[in-house]
Structure 1
Amino acid sequence: MIRVLLVDDDAIVRAGLRLMLGGAPDVEVVAEAADGAEVPALVSAHRPDLVLMDIRMPGVDGLTATRALRARPGAPEVLVLTTFHTDVHVLRALRAGAAGFLLKDTSPRDIVTAIRTVAGGDPVLSPAVTRRLIEQVTDGPGQQDRAAARARLALLAERELAVALAVGRGLSNAEIARELHLALPTVKTHVSRILTRLDLNNRVQIALLVHDASAPGDR
């Protein structure tokens, strides 16, 4: 059972999400919050596997709440579900540690699928968000940011770096295992070590770091 915390300032939206998720046999809504400030206490009390997070809320917004939550040991995954899909919101959410970003016009079936995917450890982006993200990062970072990203990647061992670069290309663990001739558990171990060594939250942040480190001609 995937335990979900709903975070949205609109009570009607929360009620609709609860009703929708109630039809999924493997998903359980364990609590609701109307503000990001409520998230830490609810996470501690209910131990959700995933937080379905809105961005714009009174008090503490969803991006700030996500960043604070993902800094905690054993934090649940965060899937952002919002009407706000500007480039800056997408990038900030992913860099804050969100493992997925969906728009509220996503179909109920796809939202449930995304919850299962993110809870299983894989990132999710809606097609519209993916297109905007690709457009946003095409120009790449400045030289200073690129140098900083490369310095962080230099902390990795040779095999860890190879795995990180493969994650940056969007490969799954199974695809990385085949390409690098490694056992699947070994790939998972390398990914975990990369996250720990670089103080990252998930493979989306690995991919963003690899992108930041690459020169325009490398993409």
Structure 2
Amino acid sequence: MTERKKRKTTPTSKGRSNPKRPDRASDEAPSTPRGHDSPLSSFIDSISGITTDLTSTALKIASRTRETAARAVARTPEQLRMMAAAGESLRDMREVAGMTVIEVSDALNLRDKSILEAVEDGREVLSFELILRLASLVARNDPLPFVLRYTRTYHPRLWQVLHDLKIDQLPIQFERERNFINIYRRHDTARKLSDAGFQRVLQFTQDAFDMAIHFVAEQERIGEPPTEQDEEPKPGARRVKRRS
């Protein structure tokens, strides 16, 4: 009986000791790949850190270059004079609209509230994006002349491209026609005239306009026929005159 008990106890003791062996294998198994992957992971981490540093450095250099280029353009005396005039006109438009600098800055989603003040004082260049935002806010009825006007002041290179493509001619002609119509709109008496009286005013206006166009075109030499002094006579023409 004692031998049977001993035989029964021996497999149980072996069964209890068997589950310990896979535990050791499971503990030792992940240790080998960690030893192999650690140099690769550290190398990849170092490369990613270097690329991140290079990207951030490049972005900083690009932003600084853009700021210095804008400041360099603004240092010329002519550009400063144009920026001062544009800033005054922007201030007048804002005051006519009845808005403060803070209200306009909030409407344009500007984080720095001092940007608009610097633009109105002529100390800061207005970006093209802000020009488009201001056009949608201040000049909703006629945004294109507004955009072209301030693009010419703050971004002369872009304006030159638009000028070479003749894109600026359409809004300029439209603005001239509107200014001519505003002459009539400013006079309430013209609306009270009879048909015959209005025709007389229209005839006087047309004659005055034609005369002014004639004198100004003469000064600017537009549409003038070439004179005899400007044209060199041909040798054949000289011979004909001598024979006659």
Which TM class, normalised by the smaller chain length?
Answer: under 0.3
Structure with the largest fraction of helix:
2
Structure-2-length-normalised TM-score: 0.24
- Higher gyration radius (CA): 2
